[in-house]
Amino acid sequence: ARARARERERVRAALRARVREVVALLAAERYGAGVVAHPTAATALARLEAAGAQAIGALNMAEFALGATGHNAAFGDCRNAWQPEFVAGGSSSGSGAAVACGATALSIGSDTGGSVRIPAAANGVLGLKPTYGRVSRYGLVAFASSLDQVGPFATNVADAAELLQVIAGEDPRDSTCLKAPVPNYTAALQQPVAGLKVGIVRECFEAEGLDPEVKASVMAAAAQLEALGCELVDVGCPRFNDGIATYYVIAPSEASANLARYDGVKYGYRAADAAGLAEMTSRSRAEGFGDEVKRRILIGTYALSAGYVDAYYKKAQQVRTLIRRDFDRAFGSVDVLLTPTSPTTAFGFGAHSEDPLAMYLADLLTIPANMAGLPAISLPCGFDGAGLPIGVQLITGVLQEERLLQVAWNYEQAARVMEKRPVAALVP
């Protein structure tokens, strides 16, 4: 009994240390690079507080949400809740890790190309990106305005549904927020899924760099749905894997425009002792932004410049339309699409620090849903040989969150993935 008590105390001490690590930013006014006094209270947060939720702090994330590894030049790295020598995924790294290790039951994040689903998958929790415009973006620091969407993190589908219920719905302060009525998400969960058609997106399973362990685990999740009475349908989305190239034109373009407001004048970091306005602006931006942010601003400014906007930004928008049409066609014959969330499990720390392109590929399978504005969820479906969680992604049509949550809930109840989890001292 004494040995057991000692072991429990050791785990608790480790958990406390982890909580301190992930809840690193207790000042809610701190964002991205440097200290930013945020002028507004986000609608999603205000609604959660009005519903009785208590905010316990701000969590670490990639600087300005640009990144997929949880590296933050200003605040340090966020570590994986299962294995600290691996990354937590990004950009909402702290949200994934904090929910996984029990520091908080629920969290939120924003998903522009996968930033809710990727850290959810990396940390073995659930992450939901709602339909574009389902949740108000008011008060959210803008990254790519045509892609950003706020979504929940939770340890189970029912909690995610409840959180979405609170934050979803019209907001007069965000003109892109949809006026559509909010259904009762919890009521939809327990409807049986027998007879639903699940599309297995062929291109995802043929994608270069797809880890065989990830593939096997996600196919087993599909088989589980089949056992529940779903019909598995082979579906082609020929433009699916073009999402990433399209994204890395559109997202940096919009980011370069959005980040122009950090000029050292109104808010954000300001360089000390500048001689004049021009020097203050250029030094504030040079000193305040990290490497990844600068890289995106350079790419975006280039893609939007007069001589290139037709060749890059406009072209990318045209490909985006083709991606959306692929989805429209697919949803003509199936109810939900199934893919892996990411081609691999979490990277080791530093594995891609010198290679941004390798990091960008982590979002290969999450980006298409942002391109088409569709709701998508990542939930745990297994573990790899190293004991790291694997995520399966489900996607439905616009405003079909009820269907998405229903399929996810039925899968979760049948698969009971966490009952087979490997031992991890930091994940309760």
Q: Which residues bind ligand GLN (CB under 6 A)?
A: 65-68, 90-91, 111-115, 143, 251, 363
Q: Check: CB of residue 122 under 8 Å from CB of residue 88.
A: yes
* Identity at 111, one-letter amino acid code: D
**For ligand GLN, the closer CB: 300 or 380:** 300
**For ligand GLN, the closer CB: 77 or 363:** 363
In three-state secondary structure terms, 30 is: strand
**From CA 411, how far away is CA 321, in angstroms rounded?**
31
**For ligand GLN, the closer CB: 207 or 427:** 207
H/E run at residue 353: none
Structure tokens at 282: 């250029």
129: left (phi over 0), alpha (psi -120 to 50) or beta: beta
Beta strands in 62-125 (DSSP E): 106-110
**For ligand GLN, the closer CB: 244 or 388:** 244
**From CA 61, how far away is CA 201, in angstroms rounded?**
30
CB of 417 vs ligand GLN, minimal distance in Å = 24
CB of 75 vs ligand GLN, minimal distance in Å = 16
Which residues lie across from 380 on neighbouring strands? Answer: 391
- Among 103, 7, 15, which Cα is nearest to 60's? 103
**For ligand GLN, the closer CB: 393 or 406:** 393
Q: Check: CB of residue 264 under 8 Å from CB of residue 217.
A: no
- Token look-up 């616009």 returns 398
**For ligand GLN, the closer CB: 86 or 411:** 86
CB of 112 vs ligand GLN, minimal distance in Å = 3
DSSP conformational letter for 289? S
CB of 61 vs ligand GLN, minimal distance in Å = 9
| Residue nearest to ligand GLN according to CB distances in the complex | 115
CB of 26 vs ligand GLN, minimal distance in Å = 22
* Identity at 254, one-letter amino acid code: E
CB of 42 vs ligand GLN, minimal distance in Å = 15
Q: Check: CB of residue 340 under 8 Å from CB of residue 365.
A: yes
CB of 422 vs ligand GLN, minimal distance in Å = 27
CB of 188 vs ligand GLN, minimal distance in Å = 26
**For ligand GLN, the closer CB: 68 or 427:** 68
**For ligand GLN, the closer CB: 357 or 423:** 357
**From CA 413, how far away is CA 411, in angstroms rounded?**
6
* Identity at 294, one-letter amino acid code: K
Beta strands in 247-348 (DSSP E): 336-340
